[in-house]
A and B are shown apart, each in its own frame.
Chain A
């Protein structure tokens, strides 16, 4: 049984000028111990999808359709109390470590408070003990629990955020652009750390990013999103070797590649669609070099092709 199974999930944001469908009938499943990379441009719905898994879709967004099963539990049916429990079981790491910590609270207190809201029977002493252990596994000295966030560098703060994500021994860790605001070297440190933690804590990881290089390195599976839809979903190596969807192909070729500069930076024409009035049919068709008659007329279904899923009329 997959650890995470998302079925036909749809998230809508009603706005004054119309409804924005941020996530559009997304179906994804991830086995225990795998790393799933969700890639796409800003506004493609990847962050909303991540937040939906912990039932944290920001207002006024609503999940209008579909189901999310974590370890066999349908999280759409949970009561408010159970949702809080869920947020303990699923760790979440946000993009910006600078604003996610309370500046007037010691690092240790962040952990103690977080642990004790979810596990009331744990004493303060026990929680601090656990915090020390987690911080050590992240390469932070135990003594630093009494420091304030401003005494940490950006990279160290992101380690603290990862630590908080791990504090309740989650099975699933979702990281939304965890290294985007960090420098290259710190990014490499954090990614290395996440790989180590994945083994140590037996985690399933969902990595949301726009950086193709990071998914290539970290993930077993890739879901490529465009305008709220998953357009291609499958094993990382296959997707890189032979991308089926023209958007996936464009995305791979537009990424800079330091080893093969000649194979990189090929632009995708046009710009990402306006989600309030997306183009009809396949939402990628105005930018697609292979578009043909059916593309503007109907939306392609996600179909199985060569051991992966793709939503493109070329493969109907």
Chain B
């Protein structure tokens, strides 16, 4: 079966805004290399995790996947169709098939639009159903995302809801067009701890009902481990490691993945973690390190690392890593 979403050598470089004088006297433009040549594919019905720290490029990748940002270069195919070269009509159809859920439910809802209208607007845009049918549809969706009784919520404004309820509205709005593909950008990061699992459970049940394919963007490996089938670890605009959940979590290969995993606090006081914390902070994405981007912080870096960009090395048919350590073992075989 061909992949549902295929991303090939995707890059996004944002020009750095400069001051007036600076722009006048220096001809050179700087770029933030937010996404710098990544490739992956997603199967239909899969939950694919994009995991990384701030500045890893995970959010930019998600925005590109649903066409909110134009990539600088690279190809995306969605169900066999090139996403970056669509005419207006194809783009409008694409909107119905691919949706996004945002991190901050307070910012993701127009404060001056009722919950019902926020969801209904999607149907208005695409001219789905009559006005009465739209209202019915919205009420059904409110009920579906757990905002019951729906009549109570229909005319409420976002500020009258709790954080968890707002996120349910955001999910409902994304689902009203019955999409097949949903990018969820840290959907529980700003929701109360006790509510997070509720929201994730809702997303799981929606996935089953609508046969969704998810891209789940998160900085939290533990949540990714709970939610995703396959995971890509990103660092400074590149994929460091990609594999099935079990592979990445049980036998992490990239020193960055190992570090990231060891850094997570475990809710068990008897667990004494062995920390392998890399030195220093994430370098600037404007001038990323040469070769392997992790090398200045990597405990296992050697002479090849600053000089050569490691390509993806296959560990198993599903598990790949971008690290010279594994490159060599393969070369030695």
**A and B in direct contact, judged by CB atoms within 8 A:** yes
- Report A's interface with B, CB cutoff 8 A: 41-42, 153-156, 183-189, 191-192, 210-214, 216-217, 236-237, 240, 250-252, 254-261, 264-269, 271-272
**Which of A41, A155, A188, A269 touches B263 (beta carbons < 8 Å)?**
A188
- 24 CB < 8 A contacts A-B: A153-B282, A154-B281, A183-B282, A184-B263, A188-B275, A188-B277, A210-B193, A211-B265, A214-B265, A240-B269, A240-B270, A251-B193, A254-B196, A254-B197, A256-B223, A256-B225, A256-B226, A258-B221, A261-B222, A264-B226, A265-B197, A267-B195, A269-B198, A271-B162
Chain A residues near B262: list those with CB within 8 A: 188
**Which of A42, A192, A268 touches B275 (beta carbons < 8 Å)?**
A192
B260 contacts partner chain A, Cβ-Cβ < 8 Å: yes
Residue contact B226 to A187, C-beta cutoff 8 Å: no
Residue contact B165 to A184, C-beta cutoff 8 Å: no
| A181: nearest chain-B partner, CB-CB | B54
B179 contacts partner chain A, Cβ-Cβ < 8 Å: no
**Which of B192, B267, B268 touches A271 (beta carbons < 8 Å)?**
B192
How far apart are A235's CB and chain B's nearest CB, in angstroms? Answer: 9
| B284: nearest chain-A partner, CB-CB | A153
Residue contact A186 to B265, C-beta cutoff 8 Å: no
Docked complex Cα distance between A166 and B195 (Å): 35
Residue contact B194 to A192, C-beta cutoff 8 Å: no
B53 contacts partner chain A, Cβ-Cβ < 8 Å: yes
Chain B residues near A258: list those with CB within 8 A: 221-222, 225, 249, 261, 264, 266
Chain A residues near B265: list those with CB within 8 A: 187-188, 191, 211, 213-214, 216-217
Docked complex Cα distance between A153 and B53 (Å): 14
| A268: nearest chain-B partner, CB-CB | B194
B133 contacts partner chain A, Cβ-Cβ < 8 Å: no
Of A153, A212, A258, A264, which is in contact with the most chain B CB atoms at under 10 Å from its CB?
Answer: A258
7 closest A-B pairs (Cβ-Cβ)? Answer: A213-B265, A256-B222, A267-B197, A188-B263, A183-B53, A268-B194, A267-B198
Within 8 A of A (CB), among B233-288: 249, 259-271, 273, 275, 277-278, 281-282
Residue contact B221 to A184, C-beta cutoff 8 Å: yes
How far apart are A180's CB and chain B's nearest CB, in angstroms? Answer: 10
Residue contact B263 to A187, C-beta cutoff 8 Å: yes
Chain A residues near B282: list those with CB within 8 A: 153, 183
Residue contact A153 to B269, C-beta cutoff 8 Å: no
Residue contact B269 to A216, C-beta cutoff 8 Å: yes
Residue contact A267 to B269, C-beta cutoff 8 Å: no
Of B194, B249, B269, B273, which is in contact with the most chain A CB atoms at under 10 Å from its CB?
Answer: B194
**B189-224 toward A: CB 8 Å interface, digit per residue (1/0)?**
000111111101100000000000000000111110
How far apart are A182's CB and chain B's nearest CB, in angstroms? Answer: 9
Docked complex Cα distance between A211 and B267 (Å): 8
Docked complex Cα distance between A221 and B198 (Å): 28
Chain A residues near B197: list those with CB within 8 A: 254, 265-268
Chain A residues near B200: list those with CB within 8 A: 265
Chain B residues near A240: list those with CB within 8 A: 267-270
Chain A residues near B165: list those with CB within 8 A: 271
**B268-312 toward A: CB 8 Å interface, digit per residue (1/0)?**
111101010110011000000000000000000000000000000
Residue contact B193 to A254, C-beta cutoff 8 Å: yes
| A237: nearest chain-B partner, CB-CB | B269
With A185-B53, A271-B195, A272-B192 known as contacts, the answer to whether A259 contacts B220 (CB < 8 A) is no
With A185-B277, A256-B223 known as contacts, the answer to whether A41 contacts B194 (CB < 8 A) is yes
Docked complex Cα distance between A216 and B270 (Å): 8
Docked complex Cα distance between A259 and B221 (Å): 11
| B162: nearest chain-A partner, CB-CB | A271
How far apart are A225's CB and chain B's nearest CB, in angstroms? Answer: 12
Chain B residues near A155: list those with CB within 8 A: 281
**Which of B192, B222, B269, B281 touches A264 (beta carbons < 8 Å)?**
B222
Docked complex Cα distance between A183 and B197 (Å): 21
**Which of B162, B194, B273 touches A254 (beta carbons < 8 Å)?**
B194
**Which of A154, A184, A252, A264 touches B260 (beta carbons < 8 Å)?**
A184
How far apart are B221's CB and chain A's nearest CB, in angstroms? Answer: 6
| A262: nearest chain-B partner, CB-CB | B226
Chain B residues near A268: list those with CB within 8 A: 194-195, 197-198
Chain B residues near A255: list those with CB within 8 A: 193, 267
Chain A residues near B172: list those with CB within 8 A: none
| B245: nearest chain-A partner, CB-CB | A261
How far apart are B255's CB and chain A's nearest CB, in angstroms? Answer: 12
| B165: nearest chain-A partner, CB-CB | A271
Residue contact B226 to A265, C-beta cutoff 8 Å: yes
How far apart are A161's CB and chain B's nearest CB, in angstroms? Answer: 16
**Which of B164, B260, B266 touches A257 (beta carbons < 8 Å)?**
B266
Chain A residues near B194: list those with CB within 8 A: 41, 250-251, 254, 267-268, 272
How far apart are B157's CB and chain A's nearest CB, in angstroms? Answer: 16
Within 8 A of A (CB), among B57-113: none
How far apart are B198's CB and chain A's nearest CB, in angstroms? Answer: 4
Chain A residues near B278: list those with CB within 8 A: 185
Chain A residues near B260: list those with CB within 8 A: 184-185
